[in-house]
């Protein structure tokens, strides 16, 4: 079995749900407490053993590339001011030299198209796909849990992170049908993108973390348009599932959809309440605000 060495981060979307904040700034750089959302997701991949980080970017996204590079002037100033802990924190956040690659999607034709744009950089090996606007708050990172499940399954298969939502919300997501249990995971028997109300095969939705075989690129190369006239990754996975096994993993942890305002605000509150330096004062302030409403 080939190791999962590479991870793809599609960051070329327009972030229209966050306008005007995202007019000139990528939504992936919005901070949750004091770290950009994308940093948490890259950290999750690093903790899972990923060695190469592939970003599919677009216009207005150059700041993401800068974020994962050194800022020599800033480092010199911090050093002159003896700000050692800040320097160490910056160093720790940085992926190693030569371990990042950036390619451009050119036009935001959909998530499936963004993934296809990474085909040359990924090559013919299985890879992880992480949607950077989904944060998973978990003791053990979501991707690490998935790689463990993938290795336990022990065959060249595809693994998708899934989570439960209330039945009346399934129509907003990609939903999977569940088959036999296999170790911690289960066989996926069907996938439907945004099923009409009352027709979903389960209440388990596709969450934003995937382990995919390289044949997904062959499916994506048809450039077929799906929902919203976009090239959808779910459509390509449905086609690939006719040839290869797909498994779902109900991971441990809680997700925050930072592409939506509510998810983003909730993530900020949840992550701030975990920080020893912030939590006591923040909790008091939250209680004061809630009492005043
Ligand atoms: P979303 O649909 O959540 O992102 O795609 P969006 O299109 O930027 O957001 P809204 O709906 O307009 O607010 C999920 C992920 O896929 C990337 C996005 O950057 C996001 O991380 N994506 C989406 C691309 O890279 N290219 C695309 O064409 C579409």
Residue closest via CA to ligand 1's atom 17 equals 13
The closest of 47, 89, 58 to 71, measured between CA atoms, is 89
pLDDT at 2 over 80: no
Mean pLDDT of the chain: 94
pLDDT band at 147 (very low <50, low <70, confident <90, very high): very high
Does the Cβ of 95 fall within 6 Å of ligand 1?
no
Find out whether 153 and 180 touch, Cβ atoms under 8 Å: no
12 lines ligand 1 (CB under 6 A): yes
Could you please state the CATH topology (level 3) that the domain comprising 6-259 is classified under: Spore Coat Polysaccharide Biosynthesis Protein SpsA; Chain A (3.90.550)
Sign of CA dihedral 40, 74, 96, 53: positive
Mean pLDDT of 219-233: 89
With 90 as the cut, is the pLDDT of residue 3 above it? no
Q: Which of 250, 251, 286 is nearest to 268 (CA)?
A: 286
> Does residue 156's CB lie within 6 angstroms of at least one atom of ligand 1?
no
pLDDT above 90 as % of the chain: 85
Quickly tell me which residue has 């388990």 as its tokens.
Answer: 204
Compute the distance between CA of residue 210 and CA of residue 24 in angstroms, rounded to an integer.
Answer: 29
Question: Is 101's pLDDT higher than 90?
Answer: yes
Residue 193 bridge partners (DSSP): 174
Give the start-to-end residue ranges of the domains of the chain.
6-259
State if residue 204 touches ligand 1 by the CB under 6 angstroms criterion.
Answer: no
What is the pLDDT, as a whole number, of residue 228? 82
Compute the distance from residue 172 Cα to the ligand 1 centre, in Å: 15
284 CA distance to ligand 1 centroid (A)?
36
Select from 13, 105, 118 the residue to mutate for testing ligand 1; criterion: most ligand atoms less than 8 Å from CB: 13
Q: Which residue lies with its CA nearest to atom 2 of ligand 1?
A: 13
Backbone angles phi, psi at 101, to 5 degrees: -135, 145
How far, in Å, CA of 232 to CA of 121, rounded?
A: 20
Q: What pLDDT is stored for residue 191 in this prediction?
A: 95
pLDDT at 1 over 90: no
Distance CA(176)–CA(156), nearest Å, equals: 20
Instruction: List for the chain the helix, strand, coil content (%; round to 5).
Output: 40, 25, 35
């Amino acid at each position: 079995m080939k190791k999962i060495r590479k991870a793809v981060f599609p960051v070329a979307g327009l972030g229209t749900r966050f306008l005007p904040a995202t007019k000139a700034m990528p939504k992936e750089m919005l901070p949750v407490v004091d770290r950009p959302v994308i940093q948490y997701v890259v950290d999750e991949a690093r903790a899972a053993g990923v060695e190469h980080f592939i970003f599919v970017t677009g216009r207005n996204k150059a700041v993401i590339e800068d974020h994962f590079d050194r800022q020599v002037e800033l480092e010199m100033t911090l050093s002159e001011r003896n700000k050692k802990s800040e320097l160490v924190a910056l160093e720790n956040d940085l992926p190693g030299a030569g371990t990042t690659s950036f390619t451009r999607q050119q036009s935001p034709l959909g998530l499936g198209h963004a993934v296809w744009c990474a085909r040359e950089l990924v090559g013919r090996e299985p890879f992880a796909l992480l949607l950077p606007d989904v944060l998973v708050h978990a003791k053990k990172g979501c991707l690490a849990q998935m790689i463990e499940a993938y290795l336990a399954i022990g065959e060249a298969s595809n693994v998708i992170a899934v989570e439960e939502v209330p039945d009346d919300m399934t129509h907003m997501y990609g939903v999977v049908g569940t088959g036999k249990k296999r170790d911690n995971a289960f066989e996926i028997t069907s996938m439907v993108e945004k099923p009409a109300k009352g027709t979903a095969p389960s209440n388990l939705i596709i969450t934003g973390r995937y382990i995919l075989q390289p044949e997904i690129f062959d499916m994506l190369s048809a450039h077929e348009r799906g929902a919203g006239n976009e090239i959808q990754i779910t459509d390509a996975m449905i086609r690939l599932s006719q040839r290869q096994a797909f498994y779902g993993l109900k991971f441990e942890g809680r997700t925050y959809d930072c592409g939506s305002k509510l998810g983003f605000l909730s993530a900020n509150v949840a992550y701030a309440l975990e920080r020893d330096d912030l939590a006591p004062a923040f909790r008091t302030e939250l209680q004061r605000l809630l009492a005043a409403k």
